[in-house]
Amino acid sequence: MAWNVFKFCTSLRGLGSVMILLVLGVVGVSYYAVVLTNFGPALYNSGGIASLSSSLAVLILFHSLLVMLLWCYFAVVFTDPGIVPPNWRPTVDEERGEADPLNGVELSNLQSDPSNQLIRYCRKCSQPKPARCHHCSVCGRCVLKMDHHCIWVVNCVGALNYKYFILFLFYTFLETTLVTISLLPYFIAFFTDEEIPGTPGTLATTFLTFVLNLAFSLSVFGFLIMHLSLVAANTTTIEAYEKKTTPKWRYDLGTRKNFEQVFGTDKRYWFIPAYAEENIRRMPALQGLEYPLRPDFDSQEC
């Protein structure tokens, strides 16, 4: 019998609190090095590497980006990525005389009939699943327009939180880049004869913070570019392979409309982890889906 590695995927959920603490730990170390050790004291001490005006600018930018980063991060963590609506069935076109493809069909029988192309059926959930829906082996459920399961946010990235995830990458890149650039003079001073104020402990923390933020900035930049390219093509990480094998990707509506499907049509909400009320009501259409993402989004029965 073949060994199924996916049966061990659910154990990854146990890393949830650890990964959240790790993210908060990196944020805490960066805050200590930037605000409490270097640029905070520079506001009261004249001279040195950091001047008064540059220190104030760094602190304002740092706190502004930190608020947005944490807002987006917890929005991804606590927002349900989108589950298949209860009792969902494929759309029935009564005017064309199409019958319900599940009428009188037991779900258990569908599993043994792979030639049935009328519906997609999840063997794990024992339920029919809509288009652009995939089963997450970690969460143990089907997720609408699933992109991937991210251990850093302890959640799946799907239809309802994909925008928040991209914004989290965006503000993380800006924040880590800011920290890297602002601490670069201190990093260079480590290898010169220039005197650096502080204890050996604070100097070690500054050095560690610079290296961590440089590494995160470079890696997050790559992920951000990749996901923006996926948004531009109206595809997901999982669908990227399927798209390569298809002559024309049917969900590609053009770069602008593809972007609006993820970020909404109201420009005021593009850079915050929220949607305008009008976009929330039109969420299924914006996401290119033919079913309601939440029961309260649509008055029709699922």
Active site amino acids: 150
CA–CA distance, 141 with 139 (Å, rounded to integer): 6
Q: Are 38 and 50 in contact (CB under 8 A)?
A: yes
* Ramachandran class of 283: left when φ > 0, alpha when ψ lies in -120 to 50, beta otherwise: alpha
Scanning the structure block, which residue is given the tokens 């999982």? 238
Alpha helix stretches (DSSP H) within the chain = 16-31, 40-42, 52-78, 107-110, 162-189, 200-232, 239-244, 255-263, 277-281, 283-286
Element (H, E) at 134: strand 133-136
Residue carrying structure tokens 């996901």: 227
Helix (H, G, I), strand (E, B) or coil at 235: coil
Phi, psi of 131 (to 5 degrees): -65, 155
DSSP code string of 51-117: -HHHHHHHHHHHHHHHHHHHHHHHHHHHS---BPPTT------TTTTPPPTTTT--HHHHTT-TT--
Closest to 29 measured CA to CA, from 211, 159, 165:
211
